[in-house]
Amino acid sequence: MNGAEILIDGLKREGVDTIFGYPGGVVIPIFDVLYSTKDIRFLLTRHEQGATHAADGYARSTGKVGVCLVTSGPGATNTITGIATAKLDSSPIVVISGQVATGNIGTDAFQETDMLGLTRSICKHNYLVKDVGELPQIIKEAFYIARTGRPGPVSIDIPVDVANAKLKNYSYPESVNLPGYKPVRKGNNGQIKKLADAIAHAQKPLLYTGGGIISAGATDELLQLIDKTQIPVVVTLMGLGSVPFDHPCFLGMPGMHGRVAANKALMDCDLMIAVGVRFDDRITGPRHTFAKNTTVVHIDIDPAEIGKNVKADIPVVGDAKVVLQQLIEKVNPRSKNSWNERTEFWKEKYPLSYKNNGNDSVNPQFVIERLNEFVNNDAIIVTDVGQHQMWSALYCHYRHPRKFLSSGGLGTMGFGLPAAMGAAVANPDTQVVCISGDGGIQMNIQELATCAINRIPVKVIVLNNFYLGMVRQWQDLFWDKKYSQVCLQQTPDCPDECRGPSGNCPPQYLPDLVKVAEANGMIGYRAKTNAEVDEVLKKGLAEEGPVLMEFFVNREENVFPMVSAGKPLSDMMTGD
Is 382 in a helix, a strand, or coil? strand
What pLDDT score does 503 carry? 56
CA distance 362 to 531: 8
Q: Give pLDDT < 70 ranges for the chain.
A: 496, 499-507
What pLDDT score does 29 carry? 98
Q: Give the number of other CB atoms < 10 A from CB of residue 18.
A: 18
CA distance 439 to 93: 26
CA distance 521 to 454: 11
What pLDDT score does 215 carry? 97
What does residue 55 show for φ and ψ, rounded to 5 degrees?
A: -60, -35
What does residue 250 show for φ and ψ, rounded to 5 degrees?
A: -80, 120
Identify any residues that bridge with 427 across adjacent strands, giving them in sequence order. none
Instruction: State which fold the 3-164 domain adopts.
Output: Rossmann fold (3.40.50)
What pLDDT score does 499 carry? 66
CA distance 217 to 213: 6
CA distance 482 to 502: 12
Q: How far is CA 285 from CA 53, 311, 335, 562, 570, in A?
A: 29, 15, 31, 12, 10
| Residues, the chain | 576
CA distance 208 to 345: 19
CA distance 69 to 19: 7
Helix or strand (DSSP H, E) at 80: helix 80-88
Positions of CATH 3.40.50.970 in the chain: 3-164, 364-556
**Euclidean distance between the first and final Cα of the chain, in Å?**
68
What pLDDT score does 489 carry? 85
| pTM exceeding 0.85 | yes
CA distance 107 to 110: 9
What pLDDT score does 494 carry? 79
**208 within 8 A of 277, measured Cβ to Cβ:** yes
CATH number of 364-556: 3.40.50.970
Positions of CATH 3.40.50.1220 in the chain: 189-349
CATH number of 189-349: 3.40.50.1220
What pLDDT score does 506 carry? 64
Q: Is 230 left (phi over 0), alpha (psi -120 to 50) or beta?
A: left
Q: At what angle do helices 338-349 and 260-268 cross, to 10 degrees?
A: 150
Identity of residue 569: L
What pLDDT score does 526 carry? 97
Is 447 in a helix, a strand, or coil? helix
Burial (CB count within 10 angstroms: exposed 0-12, middle 13-18, buried 19+), residue 437: buried
What pLDDT score does 360 carry? 79
What pLDDT score does 300 carry? 98
Exposed e or buried b for every residue in 244-261, given b needs 16+ CB within 10 A?
ebeeebbbbbbbbbbbbb
